[in-house]
Structure 1
């Protein structure tokens, strides 16, 4: 029933102040009708009899024209699944993942604006994976990295639904940075910003892959998280023509280092490298890139300081045997030689993820897949996504 109240106020229009019989109302007001009361409309996702449900997707109960008053989601053993109600009581979602290959029953009650209760139920089953894909990633939680560090993710099973994988891996940085994913293969995807990270950036990675359908019966297994900090902007430019390396920290030149790069036939590839790992008392072994240590051009030597720049065996490292050549000529097998003191100093101010640019070496172009050569890919090509 709608009630409307009409209020009329009259005043005299006569000069004597007396109220006339034909006086007209000057103002009126009326209350707005109350909205109609409706029964609550409840929905449960996944719906009743749904099969092959992603265990990583939340169970969601939503109410229209009312509020959710009670929810119970249980597995086959009757154990409840935890969830949370929104502040306005119109939505409820699970807060813990479901299991693989299980059946669940969700029961929800709500109350409409008409004051009446309604209950709905959904019985559904989750997917049973053919393969559970685990994920490794670089960098790891708590690490400090350089401004060139890409975020690399390695699945142990092929990912057909790459869009689902990218949606599952969330990257957030402070300050914000524009970036994109690039697939090197069905098992390897990297994320990098358009430009180098700003020094001091805080990167949060939330790889919520558990229970996500990656296609062909492959589902994500354990989720991974990491919080990573970007250190100072350490960038080294190695010039094969001048035989010098110029090192800058946060844009300021801090040292120029005499170096020796790859000799003829072993020219150091040209391009932008990212430091992959740092070592001390490290054994340099030519057999790791296909040349036996006892071959004419082979070697097996332990050095005091070495930092890896590529998977093909390029390092900058201490080389006391070539000090006389450093700053004058290129005599190495492709690595960047420097004195032990300079190598130790450079490593002391560096982190993995720092940038080393090689130019004028006479070598081939560094391949983007060799180590972390991500910056070799032009941005427009990178943003297209690689081998999708």
Structure 2
């Protein structure tokens, strides 16, 4: 007798035995000896088993994961339905509050079912299942559970975007929505493979940011695949991951541009060949440009730049500058360093005078619609992840965590920041 059948038999047996005992008490037959009972046709258990068989119940045994009334259920792979000694006829899964039905797929052999998409966090779901055995007899099962709440789970936001093509300086940067204390397990659940064969190592800048990079810039034309297997991983006490996904990106051609603050020139080198040398205007003596290796993290045809947002204010608290239409702007740091077009300075400034508040300025026209300017050319020829190296500035080196600029840390120090 199968376990499922036996469970049903025991339930019927309990009911029948109650009836037998009640009848015995009313009829005064409770004093029969075992010999008399056997002579009269068998034990109460045998009667119960025969009654269960006669009830014609289904042999199909339905299994549902998770358990009924479970909390903090994962939103990726924690829900599944299966059946033994039968086939699934229907599986209906709904969000109990909204009534939204969750689509799912029954396997070709009709023995398993899985939801088609990721579930929502902090949501109660109900699953109703019907199956049948070879005789066509129906079995039913219902289960209710609640998925993990945002307070009890973490997710990681990643750069670069899935499917993008980037420059050779682009790191894999992961930013978490909760502080991570179990760094080793979270880092170990990140798998990065590169077609170039380069070793890739992680570095924790703080409890919410983990970046990965090779020792040197990515080799051009490298394919990189990142697997985030955080579903069920405990990031901190009572906080587990809910992501299980893979993304990939392509490293394009190599473009590294070197800004010499003293000579006020920027040399643009692609795949080892000099494309152009452009006159620039870097930070003034009062507000010099950082030295170091900087990665382009954003591109904007036009953007507003207000000095107040980066600490440059007048006595009245207003920004020292507020330009609503800075053309061809590309971000180099979180703190506000850009390489951008400049239409408000005279043409003679570029290549001769450093006048900015720390940015790297290129000659441009207002409106960002003149593709003949130096700024427009450089904007069109650049992509996210390209590297700009600043040398011979009186300022300090760019901090590695100020933007995507971990290259300003030597390899030994970078490796020391891994939790593995």
Which range, TM-score by smaller chain?
A: 0.5 to 0.7
Separation (CA, whole Å) in 2 of partners of 1:296 and 1:128: 45
Q: Which of 299, 302, 313 matches 2:321?
A: 299
Task: Tell me which protein shows more helix as a share of its residues.
Answer: 2
Look up the match of 1:380.
Answer: 412
1:317 matches 2:340: yes
Task: Give 1:381 shift.
Answer: 0.7
Look up the match of 1:45.
Answer: none
Separation (CA, whole Å) in 1 of partners of 2:295 and 2:262: 21
Task: Give 1:157 shift.
Answer: 0.7
Separation (CA, whole Å) in 1 of partners of 2:76 and 2:273: 48
Q: Figure out how many residues of one structure are paired with residues of the other and give that number.
A: 311
Separation (CA, whole Å) in 1 of partners of 2:253 and 2:148: 46
Q: 3-state SS of the aligned residue for 2:348? A: coil
1:143-292 alignment to 2 at 5 Å?
Answer: 143-292=164-313
In structure 2, the CA distance between the partners of 1:296 and 1:159, relative to structure 1 (3 Å rule), is: closer
Task: Give 1:255 shift.
Answer: 0.3
Separation (CA, whole Å) in 2 of partners of 1:95 and 1:269: 51
Cα deviation, 1:67-113, whole Å, max 9, x if unaligned, reads: xxxxxxxxxx9xxx99x9xxxxxxxxx999999999xxxxxxxxxxx
1:345 matches 2:366: no
Is this contact kept in 2: 1:162–1:214, CA < 8 A?
A: yes
Separation (CA, whole Å) in 2 of partners of 1:184 and 1:152: 10
Q: 3-state SS of the aligned residue for 2:246? A: strand
Task: Give 1:323 shift.
Answer: 2.6
Separation (CA, whole Å) in 2 of partners of 1:318 and 1:231: 24
Task: Give 1:224 shift.
Answer: 3.5
Is this contact kept in 2: 1:319–1:338, CA < 8 A?
A: yes
Q: Which of 315, 318, 332 matches 2:356?
A: 332
Separation (CA, whole Å) in 2 of partners of 1:58 and 1:131: 16
Is this contact kept in 2: 1:135–1:224, CA < 8 A?
A: no
Look up the match of 1:122.
Answer: none
Is this contact kept in 2: 1:322–1:337, CA < 8 A?
A: no
In structure 2, the CA distance between the partners of 1:363 and 1:323, relative to structure 1 (3 Å rule), is: farther
Task: Give 1:263 shift.
Answer: 0.4
Task: Give 1:203 shift.
Answer: 1.0
Cα deviation, 1:272-315, whole Å, max 9, x if unaligned, reads: 00001111121111122123477587101122211111111111
1:117-128 alignment to 2 at 5 Å?
Answer: none
Q: 3-state SS of the aligned residue for 2:162? A: coil
Cα deviation, 1:305-351, whole Å, max 9, x if unaligned, reads: 11111111111111121431211121111100111211111111111
In structure 2, the CA distance between the partners of 1:97 and 1:266, relative to structure 1 (3 Å rule), is: same
Separation (CA, whole Å) in 1 of partners of 2:236 and 2:334: 30
Is this contact kept in 1: 2:165–2:252, CA < 8 A?
A: yes
- Runs of 4 or more off by more than 3 Å in structure 1? 51-59, 94-102, 125-130, 292-297
Is this contact kept in 1: 2:201–2:418, CA < 8 A?
A: no
Separation (CA, whole Å) in 2 of partners of 1:172 and 1:224: 14
Separation (CA, whole Å) in 1 of partners of 2:328 and 2:75: 48
Cα deviation, 1:152-176, whole Å, max 9, x if unaligned, reads: 0011011111111112211111122
Task: Give 1:177 shift.
Answer: 1.2
Separation (CA, whole Å) in 2 of partners of 1:176 and 1:95: 36
Is this contact kept in 2: 1:260–1:327, CA < 8 A?
A: yes
Separation (CA, whole Å) in 2 of partners of 1:208 and 1:189: 15
Q: 3-state SS of the aligned residue for 2:186? A: helix
Task: Give 1:140 shift.
Answer: 1.0
Structure 2: stretches of 5+ with no match in the other structure: 1-70, 80-92, 94-103, 108-113, 126-144, 365-372
Separation (CA, whole Å) in 2 of partners of 1:128 and 1:228: 30
In structure 2, the CA distance between the partners of 1:168 and 1:97, relative to structure 1 (3 Å rule), is: farther
Cα deviation, 1:24-54, whole Å, max 9, x if unaligned, reads: xxxxxxxxxxxxxxxxxxxxxxxxxxx9999
Look up the match of 1:72.
Answer: none
Separation (CA, whole Å) in 1 of partners of 2:303 and 2:76: 43
